[in-house]
Structure 1
Amino acid sequence: MAIVGKKFPNLNVDAMNEMGDTFKVNVLEEAINNKKKVLLFWYPKDFTFVCPTELHAFEAAKAEFEKRNTIVIGASCDTPEVHFAWLSTAKDNGGIEGVTYPILADSNRNLASTLGILDISDETYNEETGVVLVEGDNVTYRATYIIDEEGTVVHESVNHMPLGRNVSEFLRLVDAYTHVQEKGEVCPANWEEGKDAMAPNAKGTASYLASH
């Protein structure tokens, strides 16, 4: 069930960082208390295939998100200990060493269940071979959320296991929503920073279409 337009769930979840510290993270409070947007992305499982490419891609873009007053948080249903083992594994050995944002360890699946993003089948799809990846171990789809400074979800998307995300699209979405917040305009199809936006009325639409 979509939660766009609603407050993000108010739940505390275990998390791990690259230093091996275990702590609690409440995504809703991260947004509200820090007056920042949050980009939260879920991936199926540590020590798999597409997943490390995404974690490294979000790390590479972390500074760009920070410029946009946005916190990056990763998440899966692995334990903190498994996260730290993966954080301690070199990139050229399939690990995520060098990732510096916190990673939620929703091992009791409370938050993932609340969000409705668990693959609850008995057999989880293998990203590369098309065979069973994990039996009886519910993992999440590749779900992504953008939460605004008031804790409201402004974007939600879900990819199936084999489909990695385009990090640039989430930067664009943050730019677009920030433009809406600051200018009071709406952003048309394929809008990018610096391009024309529209007044949120029929005249604005007509004017935009006439010039594009």
Structure 2
Amino acid sequence: MACSASATATTLIAASNPKSFSANFSPSSSQTLTIPRSFSGLRKPLHSRVPRSLSFNRGSHSRKAFVVKAASEAPLVGNTAPDFEAEAVFDQEFINVKLSEYIGKKYVILFFYPLDFTFVCPTEITAFSDRHAEFEKINTEILGVSVDSVFSHLAWVQTDRKSGGLGDLNYPLISDVTKSISKSYGVLIPDQGIALRGLFIIDKEGVIQHSTINNLAIGRSVDETLRTLQALQYVQENPDEVCPAGWKPGDKSMKQDPKGSKEYFAAI
């Protein structure tokens, strides 16, 4: 089992059910990814202080024409991210986080992990925190989510890394004790009550542009998350271009037409 049970404390405030975004952003019908009820083998599963407010006032660019809006029966990618409001721990204090507050202001990396005080989870959480400045530089906030209470989050943050803790983090850890957020993003394992390692990149218009879901024993890559985010931002700023496999900033992109694409293929 990749993650053992967490010694969580009594819960205080639960995440609310997903709501629609503001009038400017109409969400699509609720989506659910099918999660198998059983898994073979892998199944058993702040030094830098930041302002308390999580609202930002930077300008927003309109979403470009390259974006495909998925139909209501399609997966989450291409559709509006399910909104939520929940309590979180940030800078060793309890705060309130509402996803829709980022709309029009920031990109969001939203990632789920199974449980506090486990093994793979702290390696991912601290890796994202250590690289937070790189995401902040490209106007992106990171939000971590698990089904643990804010009291468990706080205890874990107050535990030293050398003892399996997190230490101070540069982004909020959200409490999803009702499991409503995990369920709305299709990562909840119903018979275990914990989330798979799901990660979603949400653009400034509130649309999910990327998702990955790992089983419990497999950690994620901060490098690949950053690369994918940079590719997304590039094509949104350059709607006539697309990014080929493994694209990184500075690499050659591709024109999305039969004639223009030949320039790329001729150059490699």
Secondary structure of 1:108's aligned partner: coil
Shift of 1:210: 1.9
79-88 vs 7-16, greater mean Cα deviation: 7-16
106-115 vs 196-205, greater mean Cα deviation: 196-205
Q: 1:91 aligns with which of 161, 170, 176?
A: 161
Code of the residue aligned with 2:232 in structure 1: it is Y
Residue equivalent to 1:24: 96
Shift of 1:207: 2.1
Uncovered stretches (5+) of structure 1, i.e. residues with no partner: 122-136
* Partners of 2:102 and 2:144 in 1: CA distance: 15
TM-score normalised over the length of structure 2: 0.70
Shift of 1:20: 2.3
Does 2:255 match 1:199?
A: yes
* Partners of 2:237 and 2:190 in 1: CA distance: 40
Uncovered stretches (5+) of structure 2, i.e. residues with no partner: 1-32, 34-74
149-158 vs 198-207, greater mean Cα deviation: 198-207
Deviations 1:60-110 (A, max 9, x none): 110000011000111101011110010111100000112121011000011
Secondary structure of 1:39's aligned partner: strand
Aligned 8 A contact 1:146 1:153 in 2: yes
Does 2:246 match 1:174?
A: no
* Partners of 2:91 and 2:124 in 1: CA distance: 16
Secondary structure of 1:191's aligned partner: coil
Instruction: Determine what percentage of the aligned residue pairs are the same residue.
Output: 39
TM-score normalised over the length of structure 1: 0.88
Structure 1 consecutive aligned stretches of length 4 or more whose deviation exceeds 6 Å? none
Residue equivalent to 1:211: 267
Q: 1:160 aligns with which of 215, 236, 245?
A: 215
Residues matched between the structures, number? 194
Shift of 1:18: 3.0
Does 2:86 match 1:13?
A: yes
Does 2:122 match 1:52?
A: yes
Secondary structure of 1:24's aligned partner: strand
Residue equivalent to 2:195: 140
